[in-house]
Amino acid sequence: MKKNRISTTNQHEPSIRYRSASSCCSWLIILLFIFASCASAPRVSFQQQENRELSVLPAGARVYLWADAVQGRPLLDAFASVYLAGEGISDILDSTQSAAVAIFPDQNQGRRFFLAASGSYPRAMASFSLFFNRGWRRQRSVTGSSYWFSRNDNIALALGSNLALVSDVDPYENFTFEIPPEGFTEFNRGYALAGWLNDPSDSINTFISNLGIPLQVPAEDLFFGAVSSEADWELVFRIRTPSPTHARSLITLFSMARLFILSGPQIPLPADDLAMGPQEAARLLLANTPEQDGDALTLRIGPLSESMIALLFTLFSVYSN
């Protein structure tokens, strides 16, 4: 039987790219900007000092992602090369320090995404540029503030000298702020890129099932992060279960799943510029046994290159629905 595969050079890539809201983790790159073209200073009071962009994101999203644009620059460049061919992204990332994005479920009838970024942006130059660009129009928010909107791209932009807001609807629209899950702030320290999934069980178990791993995970929280490890990167997943007993049982199930997967045909892992299929991804994910910490499991995967991480994110977006 022929395997399903994913490749950065596959002719079907555009349909794969937008198939799921989870693929919008990579929208941190896709949206990181269009920033060279926006104006009107966002008036936002930050509620926390660490990862301050997370404090202005709307509640109700499926995926939340934060990135340090300095430490995580190699990762962001890798995502850009996969999703945008790197065009015009380098100069924009040079102006950005950190950013956070919220991606809403596919069936959501309102907002699809919201991004907040900190940096140093050419507000006056952007305003001048947009004023003479027929593709953009100044809009009045329900809150009284103004922002720019592109009907062609369905993108709303508001830019201050140090803060940028991006969405597909009014970025000033009244909404409830998201509160990061307990423990995420502590988890995120030291990571170049990190995030979490809301209500993660269905997505995780669908993904695992599609990879052919005989395992069900009762996940109450899922955190993920990428950290630099010498010349390579390490992906870290932290899964919180209902109790230490559940976590202990999962260690046993992971061990059984590893035997099941690793005893099969040993297919070499792909080079960075080749496709990765479910079998290779399963072997990669089960290479190490998780570590237990109370009711949580920590799974470490590495060493990985930046482009391999980009491929894994793409795999999850496709196989988690």
| pLDDT for res 64 | 93
Phi-psi region of 15 (alpha: psi -120 to 50; beta: other; left: phi over 0): alpha
Does residue 169 surpass a pLDDT of 70? Answer: yes
Does residue 238 surpass a pLDDT of 90? Answer: yes
Average pLDDT over residues 132-138: 72
Task: Please compute, for residue 315, the number of CA atoms within 13 A of its CA located in the half-sphere on the CB side.
Answer: 26
The mean pLDDT value of the chain amounts to: 76
**61: how many CB neighbours lie within 10 A of its CB?**
24
| pLDDT for res 129 | 61
H or E, element range at 18: none
Does residue 248 surpass a pLDDT of 50? Answer: yes
| pLDDT for res 26 | 46
Average pLDDT over residues 28-36: 44
16-29 pLDDT, tens digit each: 333 444 444 444 44
Does residue 197 surpass a pLDDT of 70? Answer: yes
50-95 pLDDT, tens digit each: 567 788 899 999 899 899 988 888 887 777 665 544 444 565 567 7
**Is the bond preceding 278 in cis, omega lying within 30 degrees of 0?**
no
Cα separation, 162 vs 168, whole angstroms: 21
| pLDDT for res 7 | 43
| pLDDT for res 268 | 55
Find the range with the poorest average confidence among 23-27, 58-62, 165-169, 218-222.
Answer: 23-27
Above pLDDT 70, what percent of the chain? 70
Does residue 127 surpass a pLDDT of 70? Answer: no
Confidence category of residue 194, pLDDT binned at 50, 70, 90: very high
| pLDDT for res 147 | 82
| pLDDT for res 139 | 82
Cα dihedral 16/80/36/46 (nearest 10): 90
| pLDDT for res 261 | 78
| pLDDT for res 35 | 43
250-298 pLDDT, tens digit each: 999 888 888 887 776 555 555 544 567 777 888 888 888 899 999 999 9
Average pLDDT over residues 203-219: 88
Q: What's the first-to-final CA gap in the chain, in angstroms?
A: 22
Q: Who wins on pLDDT, 179 or 30?
A: 179
Confidence category of residue 117, pLDDT binned at 50, 70, 90: confident
Does residue 15 surpass a pLDDT of 60? Answer: no
Cα separation, 219 vs 203, whole angstroms: 10
Q: Who wins on pLDDT, 34 or 154?
A: 154
| pLDDT for res 244 | 96
| pLDDT for res 66 | 92
Domain ranges of the chain: 13-167, 184-319
Cα separation, 105 vs 111, whole angstroms: 9
Helix axis angle for 244-262 and 278-285, nearest 10°, is: 130
Confidence category of residue 39, pLDDT binned at 50, 70, 90: very low
Does residue 186 surpass a pLDDT of 70? Answer: yes
CB 212 within 8 A of CB 279: yes
Whose CA is closest to 95, among 76, 72, 119? Answer: 119
